[in-house]
Structure formats: C-alpha cells, structure tokens
Amino acid sequence: MKKIYPRSGDTQIVYLNAVVKDPAISVGDYTIYNDFVEDPRLFEKNNVLYHYPIHAEKLIIGKFCSIACGTKFLFNCANHSLKSLSTYTFPLFCEEWGLDERDMQVAWDNKGDIVIGNDVWIGCEAIILAGVHIGDGAIIGARSVVTKDVPPYTIVGGTPAKEIRKRFAPDVIFRLRTLEWWNWPVAKIRRNLSHIVRGEVDKLELL
C-alpha cells in the first residue's frame, strides 16, 4: 500500500506497511498504527526495539490489525543471557574487552521471531516479547506484557498476560478461522462489511 493516512486530516493513524522500510518487518494490508505522542511514521524507531541484525529476527504482522499507541515489540537483544555468570553483555563490547566477535552470539538467548496474526487488536502500551506468536482475532489488553503465545480469538491482559476469555464460542471461532475473511478480495469485503460488523457469521458462510 502507498496511502499513508486512512483518514483525511488525521495524522495520528497510519497504514503501517506504507511507512515501514525494514525488510525484516512484514506488515499486511490495512493494518493500522495509532500514535498521539510521537509521529506514527517512526514506528520502526520507536516501537520495534533491540531489533539488531545479529539474530536476523523478523516481525511479522498480518492484515487488518489495530495497534494502539505505545505498543512495543522487544526482540532478543533486549535480554541478557541467563547462561552467563554475569548479566553484563561483555560480548556486545568485544572490542573493549578483547573478545572474539563470535562471542557476540552467546550474549543473548535467541527466542525467535514475533508473529502477529490477522485482525489482532493490541491495546495501548502493550509489550510483546521475542518469540511470541499471537493468533488471528486475538485481543491484547492495554499495558499487558505478553510473554507467551496467544491462541486465536483469545482476550489476554495483565503482567504477564493471561487469558481472560475467548471472544466467541469454539464453533464460531472454528468457522471464522475457516472463512479467513481478511484474505478475501477487497471488493468482496466491502460488499459484506455489514455482515462482518454485525457479527453475522451465518450470512458470511452463505457467500
């Protein structure tokens, strides 16, 4: 997408994939980020933290997600290895301490990519830690610290984030995951928005 702002005259909300340039960050169409404190176009700088090339980690965000102000994605380099006898990152300063640059690899515990599904709502100032996968349709409460994977269509909150409840009954979740409306052509989504916003799963299944 090339369009940056979804609404005329509103520069606090951006289509995220129109402003992200880092090839290690992938964002699906129509995913939005809102920031009323900083310029939302600076998402990579202000919100994707400790994302250094040493681990080749990726941030993958699906389509139609809503990411609130101050959400942070903390990658592996934010951690200090628990295998070391010291919490100090000596390998990071290999030049200062005369270490082999290969020692940098052991300075962090590598937990992997952060993967956010489609139609996920992340509340204000939530923190998502390295290696976490969040399923389609999930909701992350404001100021939550997400340390573990979140199943699809699950609401979590707190520090560390814990399940509060499912958004829908199990059969409805199964049907929504089967429909995957976010992968429909845009024209089809537009035609059926009234069914989507009214929660009319039965009518969507008849299409």
CA distance readout (Å), 187 to 7, 19, 182, 183, 199 = 19, 24, 12, 11, 19
Give how far Cα 202 sits from Cα of 48, 144, 198, Å: 39, 33, 11
Contact 122, 143 (CB under 8 A): no
Catalytic residue (choose from 51, 55, 80, 133) = 80
Q: Is 55 a catalytic residue?
A: no
First to last CA, the chain: 27
Residue 128 structure tokens: 């998502």
Q: Which residues contact 203 (CB under 8 A, 6 or more apart)?
A: 192, 195
Sheet containing 48-49: order of strands: 48-49, 72-74, 127-129, 145-146
User: Active-site residues: which are they?
Assistant: 80
